[in-house]
Amino acid sequence: MINDAQINGAYMKNPFILISDTDKTEYISARCSLNRAVLAELPLRGIDDEIEGMDFKRIFSTPSIVAEIRALSKRYGIDVSDKSDNDLPKILSEGIVSPDARLRQLSERIAEKFGKRLGLILLTLRTGLPANRAARADWDNSCWRFWAELDTIILTGGLASSMLGRRFKEHIHAVFDKAGVKPYHVTLFDNGRYLGVMGLAQRLMIDNTSALVLDMGHTGIKRALVRKGIGEISGFTPMSSMPSEYMRSKFDSDSDKLNMAVELHRRIVNIVTSSYKELSVHESLDDTVLISIANYVHSGVLNPERGGYAKLSALGVNYASVLEEDLSGELHRNIKVRLVHDSTAAALYFEGMDNCACVTLGTGFGVGFPDLKI
């Protein structure tokens, strides 16, 4: 188990980036999470007053948007019963420019509602009202000052892509304009599907090598072969994505938790092993496998309390070492595993951007920082 008290990290200019006393590397503190923040007091009334008192994840997330689509689609005479939850956000984005007036109206209505909600969330961070500060006990003044003084927010993830992301940006600025508050410089990144994979490869791959790089999220596991030349990516070949399984995070007993951790671990080992073998037929792969994972991880140690991958910590203090041992046995070579927090991996792609946060819009909010020294 790893936490801030045990690591005794020292605060830097960015209060969410800590330095480990053990190996002097930087890592993201779990308190950077936006999902646990609460909109205790609206920074602007008259837009969506019913969200006052809700936590950020309940106000804005893929599941909340999907639920809204399903609730409103019948009113517009649109049948989405044969569509999966994963398909609906894409339909919403395409609907904004659809020739079908009903789908277009539905899409614009939902984009406006959740774009304004996102604007209110960002305005809450910018203004730091006393009630909202009090509702986030693990944030001190330096945390609120960081969000107040931040220049740029890069929005990534499926919900930030294409026309839907553009609409969100318009409504965010409308909220700030109405409040009379200086807005963040909001930057959209459309092609974010493999952003974490590319961020890892760009920053962590050795020159003139090929590597298997994976992005393990709560919904799916993305895989890719990445080739790196001298200082830059020279080739990228995506593989088919795999659905995430065994993501349950609440258990009736320790034995139940351990059993599911074992099943999840077996699935990860099988996916990495089969992917490595498939690529090795035609490619000389590096022995290091790079993995972006939806968990706050530092030096191979997972946060044991956050998300569906947290239970893997029950298999050993350092999960990267556990994974290395089993992969090495399966592949008959000395495999090394580099685990990186998923939003950190995405942020690595934007190296060189100052006073900036990368916010991923997905199952919940993900936050990463391009200035992390990893």
Q: pLDDT by residue (tens digit) across 99-116? A: 999 999 999 999 999 999
> What does 315-353 look like in DSSP terms, one character per residue?
G-S-HHHHHHHHHHHHHTS--EEEEEEHHHHHHHTTTT-
pLDDT exceeds cutoff 60 at 3: no
pLDDT exceeds cutoff 50 at 4: no
Q: CA-CA distance, 268 to 292, in Å (whole number)? A: 12
Average pLDDT over residues 125-150: 96
Map residue 191 onto helix, strand or coil. coil
Per-residue pLDDT at 61: 92
- Residue in 58, 71, 142 with CA at minimum distance from that of residue 109: 71
Per-residue pLDDT at 9: 39
Distances (CA, A) of 49 to 43, 53, 113, 149, 244: 10, 10, 12, 26, 35
> Beta-strand (E) ranges in the chain?
10-11, 17-19, 26-28, 152-156, 185-188, 209-216, 220-228, 233-243, 288-293, 297-298, 301-302, 336-341, 356-361, 365-368
Indicate the domain borders of the chain: 49-151+162-184, 195-350
> Tens of pLDDT along 225-269?
999 999 899 999 999 999 999 999 999 999 999 999 999 999 999
- How many residues comprise the chain? 374
Per-residue pLDDT at 283: 94
For the chain, the average pLDDT equals 91
Least confident of 15-29, 66-80, 274-288: 15-29
| pLDDT tier, 354 (very low <50, low <70, confident <90, very high otherwise) | confident
| Chain-centre distance for alpha carbon 90 | 18
Q: CA-CA distance, 236 to 234, in Å (whole number)? A: 7
Per-residue pLDDT at 265: 98
> Tens of pLDDT along 6-50?
333 333 489 999 887 777 788 888 899 999 899 999 999 999 999
Instruction: Decide if 227 contacts 252 (C-beta within 8 A).
Output: no
Per-residue pLDDT at 191: 67
Strand partners, 339: 291
| pLDDT tier, 87 (very low <50, low <70, confident <90, very high otherwise) | confident
Percent of residues, the chain, with pLDDT higher than 90: 77
Does residue 143 or residue 24 have the better pLDDT? 143
Q: CA-CA distance, 341 to 216, in Å (whole number)? A: 10
Average pLDDT over residues 282-286: 95
Average pLDDT over residues 40-64: 96
Residue 52, token pair as written in the block: 């006052």
Q: CA-CA distance, 290 to 199, in Å (whole number)? A: 10
Q: What is the CA radius of gyration of the chain?
A: 21
Number of Cβ within a 10 Å radius of residue 48: 18
Least confident of 17-21, 247-251, 324-328, 331-335: 17-21
Per-residue pLDDT at 24: 77
Average pLDDT over residues 287-299: 94
Average pLDDT over residues 127-156: 96
| Domain 195-350 belongs in CATH node 3.30.420.40 | yes
